[in-house]
Amino acid sequence: MNDQPTPAEALDLIRKSRNAVRAAVSDGKAALRYALIYSAIVGVMVGGQVLDLPFNVVCSAGGVLGLALLAKTWSDRTGIWISGVSPRRARWVAIGLGAVLLVLMLVGVQFGRQQQIWAGIPLGLAAFAIAMAGSWLWIKVFLAETREP
Amino acid sequence: MKAPVIDAVIHAPGRLQICAILADVDQAEFATVRDAIAVSDSVMSKHVKQLEDAGYLAISKAARGGRQRTWLKLTADGRRAFKAYVAELTRLAGIV
């Protein structure tokens, strides 16, 4: 190809280049592993909110640290950094997921105040399931959004 | 009919591929982008320099795993320019 591609050639090049990012994001086993670890951490963060101080704070802070390490490990491996809020439509999936998980954490705090520690397990499991579904949805939306130039 | 307005900085194949990759992510490592577009270090560096000089790309360096890694990101101007470039290409491709 010469230095002045036609519009059709340029659009084709853009499509091919975007596939490199799409392949990294949708890499089957790696994407599943990422979603499982992410969801497990989120589950602990949410479920841990029913515990007394300082254990609820340890769950939150440890969770944030775990999520940061997870993102850094993925970024080091792929050479790509995606915050989750970059592409326009996928951003709303990430924000929506964060909002739902935040509500679950607040519900957990409320159960904790009432000493209903048992609620931590169903809340944690619900957070895990929601995070798995959210991760899957985010990938689908990201791939759809980056399909065409 | 509107005259074509093609951004010459982006329009070279190497640079438009770099922009296409960076447009979908927050940052990408120099080596990852270089491998994705299959060019040498020196060619990649030239493209990066031209995009940086145009204000379309920002470079940061971070030591990770005991080695220096170079990260690239599109600036706000770069994202705007690439979006406009793609819109113009799409318009022109529709005409042809």
Biggest CA-to-CA distance, chain B = 56
Per domain, the residue ranges of chain A are: 14-145
Residue of A nearest to B27 (CA): A81
Contact list in A for residue B11 (CB cut-off 8 A) is 4-5, 10
Cα separation of the two ends of chain B = 13
C-alpha–C-alpha distance, residues A68 and A16, integer Å: 30
pLDDT per residue over A95-149, tens digit each? 999 999 999 999 999 999 999 999 999 999 999 999 999 999 998 898 888 876 6
CA–CA distance, B50 with A119 (Å, rounded to integer): 57
Determine how many CB atoms are found less than 10 A away from the CB of residue A48: 22
B72 contacts B57 by C-beta, under 8 angstroms: yes
* DSSP three-state, residue A146: coil
- Cβ(B78)–Cβ(B55) below 8 Å: yes
Tell me the residues of A at the B interface, defined by beta carbons under 8 Å apart: 1, 3-8, 10-11, 13-14, 16-18, 20-22, 76, 78-83, 86-87, 146, 149
Interface probe with A: pick from B6, B25, B47, most Cβ of A within 10 Å: B25
Nearest to A13 among B13, B23, B25 (CB): B13
pLDDT tens for chain B, 96 residues long, are 566 678 889 989 999 999 999 998 999 999 999 998 889 999 999 999 999 999 999 999 987 667 788 999 999 999 999 999 999 888 887 765
- Structure confidence by residue, pLDDT tens digits, A127-141: 999 999 999 999 889
The two three-digit tokens of residue B82, written as one number? 């690439």
Q: Please state, for a pLDDT cut of 90, what percent of chain A lies above it.
A: 55
> What ipTM does the predicted assembly reach?
0.84
pLDDT band for position A65 (50/70/90)?
very high
Interface probe with B: pick from A3, A80, A143, most Cβ of B within 10 Å: A80
Q: What is the 3-state secondary structure (H, E, C) of A37-60?
A: HHHHHHHHHHHHHHCCCCHHHHHH
State whether B20 and A13 contact (CB < 8 Å): yes
CB contact under 8 A, B26 and A76: no
B interface with A, Cβ–Cβ below 8 Å: 11-13, 16-18, 20-21, 23-29, 31-33, 36-37, 64-65, 71, 86, 89-90, 92-93, 96
Structural domains in chain B, sorted by start = 8-95 (1.10.10.10)
> What are the structure tokens assigned to B30, written together?
């120099």
Q: Which two tokens stand for residue B86?
A: 């793609």
Which one, of A65, A78, A64, A67, lies nearest residue A30 by Cα? A78
Round the average pLDDT of chain A to a whole number and report it. 89
Nearest-CA neighbor of B23 among B89, B94, B81, B93?
B81
DSSP 8-state secondary structure symbol assigned to residue A26: T
Query: Chain B residue closest to A2 (CA)?
Result: B13
